[in-house]
Amino acid sequence: MLIDTYGRAATDLRVSLTDRCNLRCSYCMPEEGLQWLSKSTLLTDDEIVRLVRVAVTTLGITEVRFTGGEPLLRPGLVGIVERCAALRPRPRLSLTTNGIGLKRTATALRAAGLDRVNVSLDTLRPDVFRTLTRRDRHHDVIDGLRAARDAGLTPVKVNTVLMPGLNEDEAPELLAWAVEHAYELRFIEQMPLDAQHGWKRDGMITADDILESLRTRFDLAPEGDRARGSAPAERWLVDGGPHRVGVIASVTRPFCSACDRTRLTADGQVRTCLFAREETDLRGALRSGAPDEEIARIWKEAMWGKKAGSGLDDPEFLQPQRPMSAIGG
C-alpha cells in the first residue's frame, strides 16, 4: 500500500494524460498558452496502463481519475480506459474534463468502462464563459454535459470556480440549474494553480461567501463528516434533498489530514500533493527496464515522504513550480 508517515493510505490515483488544453481559463494559464511538453517526454499509452496496473494490483489503488490538461485531447483515451477497466481488481474509473469533446465521446467512453465524469463549468452566461476561458465554446460544454448524463456517466459532477467581478453572483443560479438537470454541483475555491502566478488570497471568493450566497435562495443541511469520508467536498442537502451541493475549501478549510490521493503527471512523475514542490521520476525507471517490483518500491518511497499538509493555509505560501495543466487537477 501507499502509506505515509502520518498514517494516511493513498487509494485514489489521479493520472494526467496530457498538458494540452483547448481552453485558456484565466485561473489556469495565460491567453497565449504554455510551452507544451514534447511528445517524447509524455508517457505512452502502454506506460500509462502499466503504471495503473502496478498501482491497482500491487499498491492498493481502488479509484483512478484521468485528468489533463484536457484528457479528451489524448488520442488513445478510449483504449486506455478500456484496458484499465479490464484490470482485476477493477478500479472505479472517472474523468475530469472541460466537456467540450464529450458530445462525441461520452457513449464510447461509457462502453469502454468509464464510470462517471466531472465537468468544469464556471458560468451559465456565454459572454462570461468567453471572458473566463477566452474561447466561444459554452454551448459545447452544455451539450457535453447532456451527452454524459444520457450515456450513464453518472453522477455527473459540475466543478465551478467563482471569480471576483466575473461570476461571483451566479452561485444560486448555477445550483438551481444543476438541480433541474440532475447534476451534482461542486464549488471550488480558487487555488494558486495559474502559470502566470496571478493568484491573490485577498479578494478570493471563499467557501463562506459561497454558502452565504446559496442560502439566499436554498435551505442547506450539512451531510456531516461521516458522509464525507476522505472526499474533498463538504456536501449539503439542498432543500431537504435528494439533491446535494458541495464546496471544496482547499484554501480556507484544508482537508489534508484525510487525503487519500497520489498523482501521476503526464510525463511520468509521482506527486504526493497537487501543491508539492518535489516529484519522483517513474518514467526513467520504466524506460530503463525496471520490473514492476522496482516501480512499486519507488512509488512507495515517494509517498512515504508525503508532507502533513499542502501549505495553502500559510499566508506566505509559494505557488507550485509547474502549472496545473502539467500536473493534473
Give binding residues for S-adenosyl-L-methionine as ranges.
27, 69, 120, 191
Closest CA to 224 of 234, 239, 238: 234
Residue list, annotated binding site for GTP: 14, 65, 96, 157, 261-263
Helix, strand and coil content of the chain, in percent to the nearest 5, comes to 35, 15, 50
Closest CA to 25 of 159, 116, 171, 148: 159
CA distance 21 to 68: 8
CA triplet 8, 266, 101: central angle to 5 degrees? 110
CA distance 132 to 167: 9
Cell output for 318: 509559494
Closest CA to 63 of 90, 83, 88: 90
Residue list, annotated binding site for [4Fe-4S] cluster: 21, 25, 28, 256, 259, 273
Closest CA to 186 of 160, 163, 213, 164: 160
DSSP 258: G
Residue 325 · residue 69 · CB < 8 Å:
yes
The per-residue b/e assignment along 227-266, b for 16 or more CB within 10 angstroms, e otherwise, is: ebeebbbbbbbbeeeebbbbbbbbbeeebbeebbbbbbbb
Cell output for 211: 454558502
The CA–CA distances, whole Å, from 264 to 80, 187, 270, 322 equal 15, 24, 5, 13
Query: 279: how many CB neighbours lie within 10 A of its CB?
Result: 18
Residue list, annotated binding site: 14, 21, 25, 27-28, 65, 69, 96, 120, 157, 191, 256, 259, 261-263, 273
